[in-house]
A = this chain, B = another copy of it.
Amino acid sequence: MNFEHIKQTPEPTLRRLPRYLHLLIDLKAKGVQEVSSTIIANELGLDPVQVRKDIEYSSIIGKPRTGYHIDELIKALSKFLSWDTVQKAFLAGAGNLGSAMLGYKNFINYGLHIIAAFDKDPNKINTIIYDIPVYDINELTNMAKAKDVEIGIITVRANAAQDVANRMVDGGIKAIWNFAPVHIKVPKEIIVENAQLSIGLSFLKRKMFERNLL
């Protein structure tokens, strides 16, 4: 099976582009109208050539001497990263992290709309958290089918994650954002993005070690 109808973006580039976009939005709010790769690179501690190559993926072309038109660039990057189109999501696991995410107002700016949450705890089922209704986890599959939900967010404990993932896949969900500290197995056409806190933290601590700070 071949999914690559569209040229794949390098992972490191994909990790940097949102940072550019955050910065550009910030600069625009300060009244900036034109921005060069040099400015972006200096602000973020990167190389201007790298910034230019990354921006190439958005198909935006700049002008010598002045750089890029900030509005144009923001628009193109927002489109490239799909911040401008909203997808529906279900969240499973209304615990600490899950609830926090239900209350996170920024998601809509990135094109994510969590329309419902699911839990197995009877005390949480049929409650409303930050305006989002919480249903029985057993309803997830059917409701996902009915509402054509595209993204599943897993914030349950490690031992429940695989079960939840299965329910999501059965419900036709195409992409899973997994915060549980465990690898989940899904059919290969399903996209999984792991967002374990342990990864970032390990990164941080290892860097500290390598600099003799531990």
Q: Which residues of A contact B (CB under 8 A)?
A: 3-9, 11, 14-15, 17-19, 21-23, 26, 43-44, 80-83, 85, 87, 96-97, 99-101, 103-104, 106-107, 110-112, 150-151, 158, 174-175, 177, 181-183, 189, 191, 193-214
Contacts and interface: CB of A to CB of B under 8 A. Distances in A.
Nearest to A183: B44
Contacts of A80: 206
Contact of A174 (B18, B100, B191, B208): B208
A111 B193 contact: no
Contacts of A112: 201
A93 B125 CA distance: 29
Specify which of A82, A87, A107, A189 lies most central, judged by the most chain B CB atoms within 10 Å of its CB: A82
A187 B118 CA distance: 43
Contacts of A201: 107, 110, 112, 177, 193
